[in-house]
């Protein structure tokens, strides 16, 4: 399981993509889906720290989905709705929603709402957080999954968001060979299609940054014809 994600649930592809751009610009990881049933499956597989939930969707609507989610999950839920649906928002908050944003979104306001909800949620749960669980150690490599910082032999290594996510994925699955498709779909969270060069380029850059006097291979091993592992 990877670190933490924001889940975007909206049947409008343009809204999902727009929110993804906002979140990526702020350094957040996210998963997108277009219906509540898929969202429920995602909640079983990933650690979700906040949900952006559209109210008006075909099938299970946002309010009904919120009620189901609240049966077993406590992460913040921000409803998304057109201004004409304010009554649905008011009804939805007692169902378990924490806040709402209206379409079209003001990017600054929406990100402020997201950050505020995540901050409150983490502060509330901080007393149960064991800081040792946020650190991963492998040989001379150290990773803080909470701050997304990486050190090699005590020296901090600056990684891009995608480089970091590839590294964490490989370390969290230490000893397991991950195919290029598995890496791409976990990190980019999109269907794999002719994306080998994208993954290979990021791994090459990652290896260069992780190299030091002790480990000239940069920790990541290539298993020819199968994928990569640490």
By C-alpha distance, which of 172, 179, 169 is closest to 206?
Answer: 169
End position of a domain, from candidates 109, 128, 147: 128
What per-residue confidence (pLDDT) applies to 132? Answer: 52
Rounded Cα distance between 167 and 183, Å, is 10
The reported pLDDT for the residue numbered 2 is 45
102 and 117, same domain (yes or no): yes
Q: Which alpha helices (H) appear in 50-101, and where do they start and end?
A: 62-69, 86-92
Q: Show which of 82, 113, 128 is a domain's final residue.
A: 128
Whole-number pLDDT of residue 165: 93
Which residue from 33, 28, 29, 104 is spatially nearest to 62, judged by alpha carbons?
33
- Domain match, 121 and 138 both: no
What local confidence, expressed as pLDDT, does residue 177 receive?
A: 94
Query: Do 111 and 26 contact (CB within 8 A), yes or no?
Result: yes
Please check whether residues 137 and 123 belong to one and the same domain: no
Residues 179 and 145 in one domain: yes
Q: What is the pLDDT of residue 34?
A: 94
Cα angle 38-44-46, degrees, rounded to a multiple of 5? 95
Q: Which domain holds residue 93?
A: 5-128
| Claim to verify: residue 118 and residue 158 sit in the same structural domain | no
Which CATH number goes with the domain that contains 49? Answer: 3.40.50.2300
Task: Based on the fold, state whether residues 146 and 110 are members of the same structural domain.
Answer: no
- Examine the domain organization and report whether 48 and 90 are in the same domain: yes
Residue 170 shares a structural domain with residue 217? yes
Low-confidence stretches of the chain (pLDDT < 50) are 1-2, 127, 129, 131, 213
The pair of structure tokens assigned to 52 is 């952006």
Residue 161 backbone class (left: φ over 0; alpha: ψ -120 to 50; beta: rest): alpha
Q: Which residue has the tokens 């949900």?
A: 51
Report pLDDT for 1.
34
C-alpha 54: how far from chain center = 18
CATH assignment at residue 199: 1.10.10.10
Closest by CA to 72, choosing from 48, 91, 90, 94, is 48
DSSP string, 162-208: HHHHHHHHHHHTTT--B-HHHHHHHHT-S--SS-HHHHHHHHHHHHH
pLDDT of residue 95: 73
Instruction: Give the count of domains, the chain.
Output: 2
Q: Which of 106, 128, 150 is the last residue of a domain?
A: 128
């Amino acid at each position: 399981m990877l670190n933490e994600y924001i889940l975007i649930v909206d049947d409008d592809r343009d809204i999902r993509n727009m929110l993804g751009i906002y979140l990526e610009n702020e350094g957040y990881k996210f998963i997108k889906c277009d219906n509540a049933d898929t969202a429920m499956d995602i909640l079983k597989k990933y650690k979700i720290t906040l949900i952006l939930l559209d109210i008006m969707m075909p099938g299970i609507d946002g309010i009904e989905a919120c009620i189901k989610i609240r049966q077993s999950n406590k992460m913040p839920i921000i409803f998304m709705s057109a201004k004409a649906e304010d009554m649905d928002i008011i009804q939805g908050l007692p169902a378990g929603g924490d806040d709402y944003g209206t379409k079209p979104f003001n990017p600054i306001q929406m990100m402020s709402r997201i950050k505020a909800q995540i901050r409150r949620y983490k502060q509330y749960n901080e007393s149960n957080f064991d800081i040792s669980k946020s650190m991963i150690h492998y040989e001379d490599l150290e990773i803080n999954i909470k701050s997304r910082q990486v050190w090699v032999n005590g020296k901090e290594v600056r990684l891009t968001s995608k480089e970091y996510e590839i590294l964490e994925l490989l370390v969290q699955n230490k000893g397991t060979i991950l195919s290029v498709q598995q890496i791409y779909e976990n990190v980019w969270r999109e269907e794999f299609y002719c994306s080998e060069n994208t993954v290979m380029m990021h791994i090459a850059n990652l290896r260069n940054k992780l190299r030091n006097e002790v480990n000239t291979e940069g920790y990541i091993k290539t298993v020819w014809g199968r994928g990569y592992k640490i």
